[in-house]
Amino acid sequence: MSANASTSSTPLVGVIMGSNSDWEVMQHAVAILKQFGVPFEAQVISAHRMPDQMFTYAENARSRGLRAIIAGAGGAAHLPGMVAAKTIVPVLGVPVPSKYLRGEDSLLSIVQMPKGVPVSTFAIGEAGAANAALTAVALLAATDEALAQQLLAFRATQTAAAEAMTLPL
């Protein structure tokens, strides 16, 4: 693990991103993991600037106990796909908005994986980061009933909020 890694107990979810400039988006994944009390780690791993570290991270992910990897990147966003190429731990890809193409480049780079090596790809930006984390929670909830109950309560809260919505008629 790098010196920049942020860890809470033994991590079950790894959150990685290509740059600290991705944090503004990726912090929304971390916020969800914290909300559900899921042990996680978060760090910068750049596909094109740290390729050796990227492969090492992916190769060791399963033996280290990671159950999901949330990978966010922008532009020519190779990180999720290349990590997925080196591990069978599920990779949840988050397209980070880019400066010139608003993240459409990130989205297409991540979502268009050739058949055989999947990356579960989420919406561009904040919603994608949060939903990737909620999916990681759902994966863990399959074998953790307490977490499943937390997730059901989270959904119920959203239902109640939608039911309470009024319109300015």
Between residues 127 and 142, which has the closer beta carbon with respect to ligand RP5? 127
35, 100, 29: which is closest to 68 by C-alpha?
29
Structure tokens at 75: 């532009």
Which residues make Cβ contacts (< 8 Å) with residue 87, sequence separation at least 6? 58, 59, 61, 62, 69
Q: Given the rule CB under 6 A, which of 13-21, 52-60, 84-92, 132-140 is the region that contacts ligand RP5?
A: 13-21
Q: Given the rule CB under 6 A, which of 11-19, 33-41, 112-120, 150-158 is the region that contacts ligand RP5?
A: 11-19
Which residues make Cβ contacts (< 8 Å) with residue 120, sequence separation at least 6? 90, 91, 92, 93, 132, 135
Q: 108 burial class (0-12, 13-18, 19+ CB within 10 angstroms)?
A: middle
- Among positions 54, 73, 91, 141, the unique one binding ligand RP5 when judged by CB under 6 A: 73
**Is there a binding annotation on residue 105?**
no
Q: How far is CA 14 from CA 97, 160, 162, in A?
A: 21, 31, 32
The bridge status of strand 40-44 relative to strand 68-74 is unpaired
- Among positions 12, 28, 45, 46, the unique one binding ligand RP5 when judged by CB under 6 A: 46
Between residues 75 and 125, which has the closer beta carbon with respect to ligand RP5? 75
Between residues 22 and 126, which has the closer beta carbon with respect to ligand RP5? 22
Helix (H, G, I), strand (E, B) or coil at 94: strand
Report the Cα–Cα distance between both ends of the chain, in Å, rounded. 55
Measured from the CB of residue 119, what is the shortest distance to ligand RP5 in angstroms? 14
Q: Does 56 engage in binding with ligand RP5 (CB under 6 A)?
A: no
Measured from the CB of residue 71, what is the shortest distance to ligand RP5 in angstroms? 9
Query: How many residues belong to the site for ligand RP5 (CB under 6 A)?
Result: 10
Measured from the CB of residue 22, what is the shortest distance to ligand RP5 in angstroms? 5
Binding footprint of ligand RP5 on the chain (CB under 6 A) = 17-19, 21-22, 46, 73-75, 96
